[in-house]
Amino acid sequence: MTADQQEPDQNQAQRFAAFLRSLHRPTPPNAPSNPFRGVPLHRRAAFIEERIQRLEQKTNLMTPAIKHV
């Protein structure tokens, strides 16, 4: 059975929480800036729409349900 099909036991939940906490740390002062992260989503909308259109042309991955989301 895969992990998404059962409740985690307490030990697993604590490990998962520790993992999530480790991801949410401030970046170090010398970290390079990323122009795509931390920007308002409306500034990324045109890029995402272009990629969705490309996927629609090349694959059948863009279902109506995915487009609705």
Q: How far is CA 20 from the centre of its chain?
A: 13
Does the predicted TM-score (pTM) go above 0.75? no
62 C-beta neighbours (distance < 10 Å), count: 16
Q: What is the pLDDT of residues 5-64, one digit of tens each?
A: 888 787 888 888 899 998 888 888 998 888 887 788 899 999 989 998 999 999 988 888
Q: What does DSSP assign to residue 39? A: S
First to last CA, the chain: 28
Q: What 8-state DSSP symbol labels residue 36?
A: T
| Distance between CA atoms of residues 49 and 41, nearest Å | 12
For residue 6, how far is the Cα from the chain centroid? 22
